[in-house]
Structure 1
Amino acid sequence: MQRIWLRVCTVLTALGTAVALAPAAPAAAGVDKSYETIPGHEDTDLSAYVITPDTDGPHPLLVFPAPWGMHGSIYVGAAQRLAEESGYQVVSYTARGFWDSDGGIEVAGPEDIADAQAVIDWALDNTDADPSAIGMGGISYGAGISLLTAANDDRVGAVGAMSGWSDLEESLYPNETINVQAAEALLLAGDLLGDYGETLDHVASEYRQGNIQPALDMAPERSAVTHLDELNANQPAVMIAHPWNDGIFPPRQITEFYSELELPKRLMLTPGDHATPEAFGAAGLPNTVWEDLGRWFDHHLTGADNGIDAEDPVHIQENSKNGAWSSHPDWESVTETTETHYLSEPRRSLRQWQATGGMEPEPDTGWDYRIRAGLGTTAHSGTLLVSGALLQFLDLPTGVSLPLVNRYRAGVWTGPEYPDGATVSGTPRAQITVTPTAAEQSLYFYLFSTNRHGTGALVSHQPYTLRDVTPDEPTTVDVDLQPVVRDIPAGHHLTLIVDTGDPRYTDESEFGERVEFGSPEEEPAHLNVPLG
């Protein structure tokens, strides 16, 4: 599986490289375009495309750091439209360590923030940019650098963060489980397309030896959530756009971060995987996220009275190819009500030839159900960059067939039918007591929408790894699954599956171990389902 995944990463990286190396579109009338070398922090040379309107200035300034592994040319299409249509001075640059920018990759460290500030300084000194109207934005790595720069530099008045992160540890080490597909993809891109800096070189070396601690040590400084006070003090206007199925930076850390921002803000959540909702817009093609981002910059940097400040700030697209849009005053309003389903003992019956539990309106306690650990089942969370894109473009979700889920290796609980359908809207939460036979074991929680035949589609998931627990002693596990807005078709059920293996993550469970699920009277096992 690891070799297959590395091949997938190589193909995806090659595709990204092709985009980055594609020749820039010729400058249109009214726009001047140049390729510059900008001195970054400590005179590290950074390559940049500079797009200048052929009109009298001063011009509001936009600075776009490139995504991880990508060249600054990736934004030229969007930058040209912003320069032509709204008169922005745009600088799109390649982050240090990648392509023809000097230095080493520092994972949005202090050097990268200082680089972004140096690019702003250069633009103010060498173009007719307006020092009172400065914005930053980008996809993925560019989003993270933009948020961190806005926390450190009060000149940045507006930010557009797309497919970014707020908490690096939560992204790559959710519930103490390594997101191995994401880690391997990022390291592979760094290997192929750049040069490691000192920090990344140390982190990668230790990670290869099984030591995750150096990565955890570097994460807080590089996470916008650590700098909330500075962001709220500087008061940039922050627009965040994020895909529901982002496999590198899952959305839970984004919704939590958004709720803690105390500044002008906007949140857009759409179907897709990492960077897939915004990729075409970066090339200058029509795109809902980039259109809203343009309006956001226009209002907060140029004072345009375009009505964006009068709209509900949270815009949600249901997680399917043609999902409906809805708007809300805040993230919490996405959930209208919450159902609590109590998990009952998995048993065989005439209708269920494999042991299956139910979801009941009242607590069902005193039972236990043991499974074998160390191997997963046919339930899984999909493949990074692929599964979310298949749902976004082809409406093909990650699926499951309950008759094929091995009950010796998973606990399965099926809820009541929704005769008229329903919409899961918010963050599902599960609680269950587990008794492992080892000090470290991994669990994977999946919420599926299934029909009466047991065929279904993944709604949400989350890993959870028990670490340094006492073997054969019960411990209660509370898990927030990833937030989602997903329609449940009429006649479908919600099904919770918990097993011990998933190819997206590392697995601390070993073959031959066991884990027991239970529902003690003092803490009944249950699932909270948010509905909209």
Structure 2
Amino acid sequence: MHRFAPRLIVVIALLSASAAAAAGSFSKSYQRIGSFDGTQLGALVLVPRDQGPGPFPLVVMPASWSLPNLEYLGRASQMASDGYVVVSYTSRGFWDSAGRIDIAGAATVEDVSAVIDWALAHTPSDPGRIGASGISYGAGTSLLAAGRDSRIKAVAALSGWGDLQASLYANQTTSKQGITLLVAAGTITGRPGPELAQVTARALLNDFDGAVNAVLPVAAERGARSELAHLNANGTAVLLANSYNDGLFPPGQYVEFYKGLTGPRQLMFSHGDHATAELPGALGLPNAVYDATVRWFDHHLKGRANGVPAEPRVKLATPSSGWLGYADWNAVQASPATYVLTKPTGLLVPTGSLAAAASTGWSHGILTAVPTVADSGVVLVSGLLQGLGLPAVASIPLVNRSGAAVWTGPTYASKRVLAGSPSLRVTVTPSQSSVSLFAYLYSVDAAGMGKLLSYKPYSLRNVTARVARTVQIDLEATSAEIPAGHRLALVIDTKDPRYADVTSLAGTVSFSSPASAPSQLLVPLR
């Protein structure tokens, strides 16, 4: 399959170039760019034509994991027609680019700088006005490259990661479905290097912890958090965008990365799953995320006075397609509604309350490894449906209380808007040394049907059994309308099909609320 990929891309690129020639606004060509080590990278190069002599701002676009350089063709064409040199290239090891997949290793990151070198030598690019942008793998690569190459003045990183460990191993919990998806896509469309081969081998043996452990020793240096000091020192303008239900790179890790930036910055969250919010924009379709990306580059590379600096630094999409704006993430989380957890009571379906009054000194236990109807859904599928207004659902009365603890809040008399990251503090006592916990927050109607708002895994590994410990679980950021007549429900169980848990059968977990650290749920409601 790989030997036909270059021919396919050449044909499509030449056809597109013919159409572009008729328009007379830019030229387009397929190039083989030699990287720093001689590795040939397949690239589409778009250069403004009949727009003056230049030099023009340059934007380099590394392709996503498993996708070729055609990924950004629609948006790249629009940018080239507006005076940008754009080089969109297939990431090392995939499709028509040679080399091996190194999971955002040093070579893949250095490729960005090599492409910049080539563009400065072969196109009318301005060395003082260079940007980098990508989706997913291209986003992470762009951020890392910007930290290591001070020539990059602006970045737009869409559906990417700032912390690779927090993405693949959130709270020490491995995303089984996420690893499977990445391994399958990489194996089908590329040539795995030693690390990915090891990850693949462990995943095939159903050893997903082993798969992640193959990457963990280098995870820190493969995430842009390791480049924060350089990004800040360079004053790099960084735009981050992600989806609330991103199944590969969850939004929480982007929040933490954003909070470490000190230069020009903006954070945007939209509804959907991994890359679903911006892929239509990459194809050139109307798209809020890509519109913001182009405006970001227009200001920081062209100097256009388009109002970007005056915009809110944090923008959260609402279900009604509007945007909520905040000065920073602290403003998003300010003045949350506080609910204390009370003891679940009842014979058949014991349920606690999300109450206003303090409640301490109680304890309530569940069995481990008991499946329930509460789960986070299927990676990519559930998040995509969420973006279409069809979130994962669960009947709260049918949640198996032997394997889950449940708390419900008061019924709201009027519509409320949840915007931000709910935060849970709870004291747990496991009977075993390792257990995974999964916390889910639902909006529940009068019939007890809950729509999933947010969730988060949390694993205790190799702890002392039967010793109480207070854990802090920050659920993923979200934005949702809770209609009048609905109420919140919190569910905690020990199994979720999306994750490779460390929960064993025949154990228990007790939840409690000591006076020194009352169990509570904080929800940023408007």
Q: State the SS of the aligned residue for 2:500.
A: coil
Report Cα offsets for 1:248-288 as digits up to 9, x if no partner.
00001111211221001112111111000111111111111
Runs of 4 or more, structure 1, over 3 Å off, are: 19-26, 202-210
Q: State the SS of the aligned residue for 1:144.
A: helix
Deviation at 1:531, TM superposition (A): 2.0
2:49 is aligned with what amino acid? D
Unaligned runs of 5+ in 1: 1-18
Unaligned runs of 5+ in 2: 1-7
Would you say 1:102 and 2:90 are equivalent positions?
A: no
| In 2: Cα distance, 1:470 partner to 1:119 partner | 52
| In 2: Cα distance, 1:101 partner to 1:217 partner | 27
Map 1:477-496; keep pairs closer than 5 Å.
477-496=471-490
Given that 1:20 and 1:70 are in contact with CA atoms closer than 8 Å, whether structure 2 keeps it comes out as: no
Task: Specify the alignment match of 1:133 in structure 2.
Answer: 129
Would you say 1:264 and 2:264 are equivalent positions?
A: yes
Match of 2:177 among 181, 185, 199: 181
| In 2: Cα distance, 1:42 partner to 1:402 partner | 57
Would you say 1:296 and 2:292 are equivalent positions?
A: no
Given that 1:20 and 1:74 are in contact with CA atoms closer than 8 Å, whether structure 2 keeps it comes out as: no
2:32 is aligned with what amino acid? T
Would you say 1:76 and 2:73 are equivalent positions?
A: yes
| In 1: Cα distance, 2:83 partner to 2:460 partner | 54
Report Cα offsets for 1:409-463 as digits up to 9, x if no partner.
1000001122112222222111112121211111100011112221121111000
Match of 1:23 among 9, 12, 34: 12
Q: State the SS of the aligned residue for 1:443.
A: strand
Task: Specify the alignment match of 1:337 in structure 2.
Answer: 335
Report Cα offsets for 1:30-88 as digits up to 9, x if no partner.
2211100000131000000001111322111110000001001111111000001x210
Map 1:319-334; keep pairs closer than 5 Å.
320=319, 322-334=320-332
Match of 1:452 among 446, 455, 461: 446
1:98 is aligned with what amino acid? F
| In 2: Cα distance, 1:381 partner to 1:503 partner | 8
> Structure 1 residues 308-317 or 209-218, which shifts more?
209-218
Identity %: 45
Judged with a 3 Å threshold, the aligned counterparts in structure 2 of structure 1 residues 172 and 20 are, in CA distance, closer, same or farther, namely farther
Task: Specify the alignment match of 1:64 in structure 2.
Answer: 61
Given that 2:10 and 2:30 are in contact with CA atoms closer than 8 Å, whether structure 1 keeps it comes out as: no
Task: Specify the alignment match of 2:285 in structure 1.
Answer: 285
Report Cα offsets for 1:146-203 as digits up to 9, x if no partner.
1111100010011111001000000000010001111111111111010111333334
Would you say 1:54 and 2:43 are equivalent positions?
A: no
Judged with a 3 Å threshold, the aligned counterparts in structure 2 of structure 1 residues 43 and 90 are, in CA distance, closer, same or farther, namely same
- The two structures have a TM-score, normalised by structure 2, of 0.93
Deviation at 1:337, TM superposition (A): 1.6
Match of 2:116 among 120, 127, 135: 120
Judged with a 3 Å threshold, the aligned counterparts in structure 2 of structure 1 residues 337 and 147 are, in CA distance, closer, same or farther, namely same
Given that 1:400 and 1:455 are in contact with CA atoms closer than 8 Å, whether structure 2 keeps it comes out as: yes
Map 1:519-530; keep pairs closer than 5 Å.
519-530=513-524
Given that 1:21 and 1:71 are in contact with CA atoms closer than 8 Å, whether structure 2 keeps it comes out as: no
Deviation at 1:22, TM superposition (A): 9.4
> Structure 1 residues 30-39 or 327-336, which shifts more?
327-336
Judged with a 3 Å threshold, the aligned counterparts in structure 2 of structure 1 residues 192 and 517 are, in CA distance, closer, same or farther, namely same
Task: Specify the alignment match of 1:13 in structure 2.
Answer: none
Task: Specify the alignment match of 1:159 in structure 2.
Answer: 155
Would you say 1:192 and 2:188 are equivalent positions?
A: yes
Given that 2:195 and 2:215 are in contact with CA atoms closer than 8 Å, whether structure 1 keeps it comes out as: no
| In 2: Cα distance, 1:265 partner to 1:476 partner | 34
CA-atom RMSD in angstroms: 1.8
Task: Specify the alignment match of 1:476 in structure 2.
Answer: 470
Task: Specify the alignment match of 2:422 in structure 1.
Answer: 428
Task: Specify the alignment match of 1:228 in structure 2.
Answer: 228
Q: State the SS of the aligned residue for 1:342.
A: strand
Deviation at 1:204, TM superposition (A): 3.8
Report Cα offsets for 1:73-132 as digits up to 9, x if no partner.
111111000001x21011000011000111100111110111110000000001111111
Given that 1:244 and 1:272 are in contact with CA atoms closer than 8 Å, whether structure 2 keeps it comes out as: yes
Given that 1:357 and 1:412 are in contact with CA atoms closer than 8 Å, whether structure 2 keeps it comes out as: yes
| In 2: Cα distance, 1:122 partner to 1:35 partner | 14
Task: Specify the alignment match of 1:45 in structure 2.
Answer: 40
| In 2: Cα distance, 1:377 partner to 1:65 partner | 41
> Structure 1 residues 262-271 or 517-526, which shifts more?
517-526
Task: Specify the alignment match of 2:240 in structure 1.
Answer: 240
| In 1: Cα distance, 2:360 partner to 2:321 partner | 39
| In 2: Cα distance, 1:482 partner to 1:446 partner | 10
1:287 is aligned with what amino acid? N
2:405 is aligned with what amino acid? G
Q: State the SS of the aligned residue for 2:372.
A: coil
Map 1:398-437; keep pairs closer than 5 Å.
398-437=392-431
Task: Specify the alignment match of 1:11 in structure 2.
Answer: none
Judged with a 3 Å threshold, the aligned counterparts in structure 2 of structure 1 residues 309 and 121 are, in CA distance, closer, same or farther, namely same
2:423 is aligned with what amino acid? R
Deviation at 1:21, TM superposition (A): 10
Deviation at 1:399, TM superposition (A): 0.8
Q: State the SS of the aligned residue for 1:23.
A: helix
Given that 2:183 and 2:196 are in contact with CA atoms closer than 8 Å, whether structure 1 keeps it comes out as: no
